[in-house]
Amino acid sequence: MARMYSRKRGKSGSKRPIKRVLPVWLRYKPQEVELLISKLAKEGKTSSEIGIVLRDTYGISDVNLLCKKKLSQILKEKNLAPELPDDLMALIRKSVEIRKHLETNVKDQTAKRGLTITESKIKKLTKHYKATGKLASEWKFDPERAGFYTK
């Protein structure tokens, strides 16, 4: 099936192994991993950045296999989860950057289209998160106040 916002098809790339077994060489215990996750979250890293650090530095390929909980669940238990999901925050940051770019480059039509696409993705994700209960039902994306959410 084709992608929604481009004319491309398919989604090639590396895939996870089919066999979901804990590696033999992994020496970390679930409690140690939870402490590492909380330490990295207190440093201000997002859950995706934490996953990358765990994979590249510590060799922990899958937190869910080791701890029997997802990384976001661990953050929620330790009260370190952000109020907005990471993917929504990334899209909001992107829209703020595009708006900042459009202030100086008014005639950039490609950027205007990119802003339209980004904000429609935000609207779609917001609708999904409200339906699943991850966002409050009265939460609304306001492009004028969106700079408040960036770092």
Residues 6 or more apart from 133 whose CB is under 8 A from it?
none
What single string gives the DSSP state of each residue in 31-82?
A: HHHHHHHHHHHHTT--HHHHHHHHHHHH----HHHHHSS-HHHHHHHTT---
Integer Rg of the chain from CA: 19
119 and 142, same structural domain?
Answer: yes
3 located within any domain: no
2 located within any domain: no
135 located within any domain: yes
94 and 132, same structural domain?
Answer: yes
| Amino acid (1-letter code) at residue 141 | F
Q: What is the pLDDT of residue 129?
A: 95
The neighbouring-strand residues paired with 2 are 9
Q: What is the mean pLDDT of residues 28-32?
A: 93
| Lowest pLDDT segment from 6-10, 22-26, 68-72, 113-117 | 6-10
Residue 1's pLDDT band, with cuts at 50, 70 and 90, is: low
144 and 91, same structural domain?
Answer: yes
* Domains identified in the chain, total number: 2
Picking from 77, 106, 132, the residue at the C-terminal end of a domain is 77
24 located within any domain: no
Range(s) of the domain holding residue 144: 86-149
- How many helices (H) and strands (E) would you count in the chain? 6, 0
pLDDT in tens, 91-118: 999 999 999 999 999 999 999 999 999 9
CATH number at residue 106: 1.10.287.10
Residue 124's closest CA among 2, 1, 4?
4
